Homo-oligomer: A and B are copies of this chain.
Amino acid sequence: MTIKIAITDDHPIVANGLKKILDDFANIDVVAVYTTGNDMLKEVGASLPDVMLLDMNLPDLEGPDLARQLLKKFPSIKIIVLTSSDVTVQVKKMLQIGCQGYLLKDSDDKTIVQAIETVYGGGQFLSPVIQQQLVNDMFRTKNQKQNTLLTRREKEVLQLITQEYTNQEIADKLFISLHTVDNHRSSLLQKLDAKNTAGLVKKAIENGLVE
């Protein structure tokens, strides 16, 4: 019995490279390769893979959104998130949505195959580094609770901050009061553990919230 795999990644080198690697394994069959999130959503019905290797940073759709939509359409597909970022916030969100695996792009062939087989068998698979980080995170967040997850509005405000807008300009743009923006800004400083605007922008870029 072969496992049907689909790959979604906007970097052809990664996508094709992965396909070539997996082609060497007899029990794995790469049935489709997509380079955009929208293509994937449109055409995945035709290939119906068992496991989807999904890049989190696609240009057209945000990772979490895409995963949610895919699972809504085809709840039986197992998703392994492929990414180069090991930010625990991102990881947690994807797992909450219902992804079964989280692989860093610096994993080697064997690990990838192992992840695919584990997930196909109903298990969950995390890159060791990530697993360790999540555990560490548990200890830390025990006290501070859920301060890491940014809300929709906070993300919007953060985005605009990185685009050099002032609080007043952000308020005008979002049709809210200056005070509200200030509040969001304070939450952001706290949640991202930043001291000032400079810290916010750095964290925003680190967490992939900018372009």
A82 to B17, CA, bound (A): 14
Residues of B within 8 A of A194 (CB): 164
Residues of B within 8 A of A112 (CB): 13
Q: Tell me if A43 is interfacial: C-beta within 8 Å of chain B.
A: no
Q: Tell me if A176 is interfacial: C-beta within 8 Å of chain B.
A: no
What's the dominant secondary structure at chain A's contact region?
A: helix
Closest Cβ of chain B to A163, distance in Å, is 8
Contact status A11-B105, CB under 8 Å: yes
How many residues of A are counted as interface, with CB atoms below 8 angstroms from the partner's CB atoms?
35
Q: Tell me if A84 is interfacial: C-beta within 8 Å of chain B.
A: yes
Residues of B within 8 A of A109 (CB): 12, 16
Please give me the residue from chain B that is nearest to A200 by CB atom. B198
Residues of B within 8 A of A106 (CB): 10-13
Contact status A164-B18, CB under 8 Å: no
Residues of B within 8 A of A84 (CB): 11
Q: Which of A107-142 contact B (CB under 8 A)?
A: 107-109, 112
Residues of B within 8 A of A76 (CB): none
Closest Cβ of chain B to A187, distance in Å, is 17
Residues of B within 8 A of A10 (CB): 106
Q: Which of A1-45 contact B (CB under 8 A)?
A: 10-14, 16-18, 20-21, 23
Contact status A14-B12, CB under 8 Å: no
Please give me the residue from chain B that is nearest to A53 by CB atom. B13
Contact of A199 among B20, B164, B196, B200 (CB under 8 A): B164
A205 to B10, CA, bound (A): 21
Residues of B within 8 A of A16 (CB): 17, 21, 108-109
Residues of B within 8 A of A197 (CB): 196-198, 201
What are 6 inter-chain pairs, A to B, with CB distance below 8 A? A11-B84, A16-B17, A17-B20, A162-B198, A201-B201, A201-B202
